[in-house]
Structure formats: C-alpha cells, structure tokens
C-alpha cells in the first residue's frame, strides 16, 4: 500500500477511535451525573481530597480533558476555589493514565473484534431504549466498542516493521542525542494540541511503539509532550471566562510543563531505569528480528506498551507528589500571571458557561449558583429602596438611579438564566431534570418580579419626594422599617437556601405568616387613620398602603421560591 493510502487509513482509524472516546466519555458523564455532583460537593480545601476526586472523576469519564474543562467551569461558576481546582487537576493527570493501561493490557493481548463488535451492536440497540439510564449506558457501550474497534483499525493501518531499512528515517531523528528527545517531546505536544485528546495521542504512541516504528525512549519523550499538549484544552475553555477560570487553566499548564521539564532532564538517567526495574522485560526490542515469531512479537508488544503505561503513571504520580506541597505558591504565581482586570465588567451573569451542558446535574448546580447571585442583586436593590423610603427629605438621586439600574440587571439575568436552562433542557432527556428546569425557570421569574416590586417602591418614594405636601409620616416610616426588616429576613433566608444551607426552608412559612399579619395590622390602622381625618393626607396614605402591598408581595415571592423548590424535590 502507498504512503498516502496508509495515511488515509490511519486518519480513518483515528477518527473511529476519537468518536468512540467521545461517545464513551459523554455517556459516562450522563450516567454518572449525580455521582459527579456528589464528588464535587465532597471536595474541601484539603488538597489531598481534591487529588483523589480528580483521579476518581477522570477514571469514571475516561477523559482528563473533560475533567479539566469541568474544573475550569466549576471555578468560573464559583463551585471550586483555585486551590481546590489545582488539586483536582493534579488528580486528573493521574486518572488519565488509566486509558494507557487499558490499551496496554487489552489492546495488544486480546482479540479486539471479539468484544468490540458485540459491544457496538448491544450499545446501538440500547440507544433506542426509553429509560434514560439504559439509553446512556448504551452510549457508553457503543463508545467503548468503537474505541477498541478504532484501536484495532490503527494496528491494521500501520504495517509492522519487517526490514531494518524501514527505520532509516527513525535513525536520522534519533541520532542527535538529547536534541532528538526534545524533538519527540515537541512532536507529542503538537499532536495532542491538534487532536485535542491526550488519550488519542497516547494510543497512537503505544501503537507505533508496539509495531516497532518508535523506539522506547522516543515514545517516552512523546508521552511527556502529550502532558504539555493536553493543557491546551483547558486554556481554550478558559477563553472569555472569568479571571479565576483563566488562573485554573494556567495552573494546569505550569504544572504539566514543570513536570515535563524535570522528567526530560532525568529521562534516561533516572526515570526509564526505574520503570525498567519495576516492570519485567526489556522494552528495547528489535522487531525486525522477530518477524515470523508471532508469540515473540506479542510478548514484545506487551512489554513495550506496559513499560510506557508504567512510565506515564510514574511520571504523573511523582509530579503530583513533588508539587502538592506547593499548591499555595502555584496559586500565587498564576494570580500574578493573570491579574484582575483594571476595568470591571457590568454585573450580569457571573457563573453560567455552556461547558457543563452534557452533565445536566452539574449545569443545574451552576444555574442555582447564578440564581443565588441574582438574589444578592435583588436584596441589595431592596435594601437601597428601604433606605430611600426611610429618608424622604434627603436628596438621594444617585442612589435612586443606581437602584433602578439594578432592575435592568435583574431583567438581563432572567433572560440569561432562562436561556441557559433552555440549553440544559435540550441536552437532557430525564424527567427529573426536566422538572427541576421547569421549577428553576418559574423561580427565576419570581426573582425578576421581586426586582420589579423593589423598583416600584423606589418610584413611589420618588413621586412622594417631588411634592413637599406628600411626605411619609414618622409612624409610617417606622412601620415600613419594621415590615421591611421581616422582608429582608425572607430574602436572606432565600439566599441561604439557594446557597445550599440546610434547615432554612422550615423558617420560610413562619416568616410569610409574620409578614402577612404585620401587613394586615398596619393596613387596618392606616385605613382607620385616613377615615378619622376625613381625607386629609389621602395621597400619602394611599401611597403607604400601596407600599405595604408591594412589601408583602416581595416576601410572598421569596417564600414562594423556596416552597416551589421543595415541591420539585419531593415530586
């Protein structure tokens, strides 16, 4: 076969492999969505827990790129601190070595077609199931089958070395000493950036090494380059993201480049000799001399691939152990590298990104964080409106304009959150997620309506301020302060509920009853006063009654959000 034919077959085989990897990873993310949510919640400031979490998540979804993109999204969404994220990234680097072991132990020792094709058939059939879990499991099985089918096609696309003359090009590249090793590191980096998958590049490296085209030491150098190249995915995901997300991506880059640098310096003298001591067999093999000896070829391929998988694991474990004590120093470095912008953007959505749409449970957790942010905007708006009402004789034009501007912010946040929930709904097919999305859409609208009521409070205050004869009396201001304090408690209670604090839902109903009773009492007192004075101060009195109505509405909607969320959880 011509070189062009080999290249085309290789590209097609790689395409099948990458398709299988993507389907399997996405399916695993859907199946493990709730488990991933539990894992993320389990993360603490303890860096060791973060490493274990990163390892577990990457082992589950079989993609360090997916894990690091999720980590960048979590930092962007405020679900992780930068210190926690770095620990997870370190663990993800260890977790990605599982793919190498999977290929090394199965890909060159087992008849791949014997289980790849049945897995594709069963997985394809399961994809038509109505039950979401069965359907997603089918995606995993289909992806698994395509992944190993692609691996088999890769082996068939690359002809085995049968003549030492075939390796002249390799000898030319490997005859420059340490420079040759650097060349293969750069090649591994570039190939991973192009393919956007260190697992795919690792599989290619193992395939070429197992078929005799790539010397053991040069293959190990490519593995180091793959660890640098895989950082491109997270840095691409951080484009346009908040500063904290950019810092997480830069930390991933520094961590992997530092590791590749020291490992490159110690590759021939320390790293490879340690691997050779730990793993039996000699990985430096003359494949041309073994032609015709099928048993010898299989043993040689298993030896070299196992050594490379062990090298990959040893490198990532050692690099993590070296840098784990210096996480805070790494945080300081990336903080200086990516400083806060001098000009802050207008406050709109802070936590929404599209990177988590394939894991709806995590996307909803992100959206809940944004709803909490929207609650904080509304609560500040309410606090300012009460300040304006309590000071009817002061000129608070700037505060009035700032408060009314927050109404626009609330409107924009409702649109952005609703659009994000719509995208999440398109990516999800489970009824449980659909119910949560419907509840969150309704509650986002309730938050926007609270903002509207706060704006009405300000507009009433401004209208009263424009006429010196329509100023609120002291007892009316005192009543507004009292009921406003209860409404503020309801908003605070809502904020703590959306932040995930337990035990606050039970307080909501009691607060609503207290607000309703206080509003009823104050309303009756005001009507009695107006009747006794026979229409005197009628405009001010009616404005006060209107204020009471809007204050009660704010409290009702704050409690209603918690009530509806509780109903959705119980459904």
Give residues with Cβ within 8 angstroms of 517, minimum separation 6. none
> For the segment 391-438, what is each residue's pLDDT rounded down to a tens digit?
877 777 788 888 888 889 999 999 999 988 888 887 765 677 888 888
Q: Where are the domains positioned within the chain?
A: 3-337, 360-570
- For helices 538-570 and 474-498, give the axis angle rounded to 10 degrees: 20
pLDDT at 568 over 70: no
pLDDT tens digit sequence for 186-242: 999 998 888 877 888 888 899 888 878 888 999 999 999 999 998 987 787 677 667
Residue of 323, 365, 338, 351 whose CA lies nearest to 498: 365
Residue scoring higher pLDDT (123 or 2)? 123
Tens digit of each residue's pLDDT (9 = 90 or more) over 125-184: 988 887 877 888 888 889 888 877 887 787 777 666 555 555 455 556 777 788 989 999
Classify residue 517 as exposed, middle or buried by CB count within 10 Å of its CB (0-12, 13-18, 19+). Answer: exposed
pTM for the full model? Answer: 0.66
The sign one gets for the Cα dihedral 18, 23, 26, 29 is negative
CA pair distance 153, 114, nearest whole angstrom? 14
Contact 341, 302 (CB under 8 A): no
Cβ neighbours of residue 64 under 8 Å, at least 6 residues apart? 58, 92, 93, 95, 96, 198, 199, 230
Cα–Cα distance, 306 to 230 (Å, whole number): 22
Give backbone dihedrals phi and psi of 393, rounded to 5 degrees, phi first: -95, -5
Q: Give the C-alpha separation, 51 to 47, whole Å.
A: 6
- C-alpha distances out from residue 150 to 86, 141, 187, 256, 398, Å: 33, 14, 22, 28, 65
Task: Report the chain's mean pLDDT, rounded to a whole number.
Answer: 83
Structure tokens at 145: 């089958």
CATH of 360-570 among 3.40.50.300, 1.20.58.220, 1.20.140.10, 3.40.50.10540: 1.20.58.220
What pLDDT score does 455 carry?
93
Q: Quick check: 486 pLDDT over 70?
A: yes
The answer to whether 202 touches 226, Cβ cutoff 8 Å, is yes
DSSP-assigned states of every residue in 288-339: GGGTT-HHHHHHHHHHHHHHHHHHHHHHHHHHHHHHGGGHHHHHHHHHHHSP
**What whole-number distance in Å separates Cα of residue 158 and Cα of residue 181?**
23
Q: How do residues 267-277 score in pLDDT, each as one tens digit?
A: 999 999 999 99
Residue whose entry in the numeric block shows the structure tokens 């990897």: 21
């Amino acid at each position: 076969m011509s070189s062009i034919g080999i290249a085309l077959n290789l590209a097609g085989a790689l395409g099948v492999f990458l398709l299988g990897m993507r389907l399997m990873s996405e399916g695993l993310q859907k199946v493990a969505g709730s488990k991933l949510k539990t894992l993320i919640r389990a993360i603490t400031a303890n860096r060791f827990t973060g490493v274990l979490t990163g390892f577990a998540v990457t082992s589950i979804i079989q993609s360090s790129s997916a894990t690091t993109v999720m980590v960048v999204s979590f930092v962007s969404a405020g679900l992780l601190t930068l210190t926690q994220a770095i620990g997870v990234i370190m663990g993800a680097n260890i977790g990605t070595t599982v793919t190498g072991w999977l290929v090394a132990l199965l890909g060159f020792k087992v008849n791949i077609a014997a289980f790849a094709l049945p897995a594709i058939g069963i997985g394809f059939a399961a994809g038509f199931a109505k039950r979401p879990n069965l359907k997603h499991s089918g995606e995993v099985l289909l992806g698994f089958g395509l992944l190993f089918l692609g691996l088999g096609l890769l082996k068939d696309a690359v002809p085995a070395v049968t003549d030492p003359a075939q390796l002249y090009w390799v000898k030319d590249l490997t005859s420059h000493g340490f420079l040759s090793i650097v060349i293969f590191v750069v090649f591994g980096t570039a190939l991973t950036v192009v393919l956007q998958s260190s697992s795919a590049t690792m599989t290619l490296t193992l395939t070429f090494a197992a078929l005799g085209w790539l010397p053991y030491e040069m293959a190990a150098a490519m593995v180091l380059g793959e660890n640098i190249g895989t950082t491109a995915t997270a840095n691409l995901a951080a484009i346009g993201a908040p500063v904290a997300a950019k810092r997480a991506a830069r930390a991933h880059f520094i961590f992997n480049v530092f590791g590749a640098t020291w490992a490159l310096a110690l590759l021939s003298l320390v790293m490879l000799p340690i691997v050779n001591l730990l793993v039996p067999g000699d990985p430096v093999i003359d494949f041309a001399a073994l032609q015709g000896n099928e048993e010898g070829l299989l043993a040689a391929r298993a030896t070299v691939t196992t050594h490379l998988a062990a090298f990959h694991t040893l490198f990532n474990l050692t690099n993590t152990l070296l840098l784990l004590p210096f996480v805070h120093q790494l945080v300081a470095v990336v903080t200086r590298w990516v400083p806060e912008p001098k000009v802050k953007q207008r406050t709109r959505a802070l936590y929404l990104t599209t990177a988590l749409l394939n894991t709806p449970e995590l996307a909803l957790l992100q959206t809940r964080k944004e709803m909490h942010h929207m609650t904080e905007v509304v609560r500040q708006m309410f606090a300012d409106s009460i300040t304006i009402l309590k000071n009817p004789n002061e000129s608070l034009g700037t505060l009035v304009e700032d408060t009314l501007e927050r109404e626009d912010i609330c409107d924009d946040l409702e649109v952005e959150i609703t659009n994000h929930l719509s995208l999440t709904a398109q990516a999800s097919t489970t009824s449980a997620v659909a119910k949560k999305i419907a509840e969150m859409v309704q509650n986002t609208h309730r938050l926007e309506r609270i903002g509207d009521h706060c704006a009405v409070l300000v507009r009433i205050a401004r209208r009263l301020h424009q006429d010196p004869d329509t100023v609120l009396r002291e007892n009316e201001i005192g009543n507004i302060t009292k009921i406003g304090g209860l409404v503020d408690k309801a908003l605070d209670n809502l904020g703590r509920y959306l932040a995930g604090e337990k035990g606050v839902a039970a307080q909501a109903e009691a607060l609503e009853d207290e607000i309703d009773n206080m509003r009823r009492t104050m309303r009756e007192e005001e009507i009695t006063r107006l009747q006794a004075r026979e229409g005197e101060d009628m405009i001010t009195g009616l404005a006060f009654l209107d204020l009471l109505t809007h204050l009660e509405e704010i409290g009702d909607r704050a409690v209603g959000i918690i009530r509806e969320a509780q109903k959705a959880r119980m459904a």
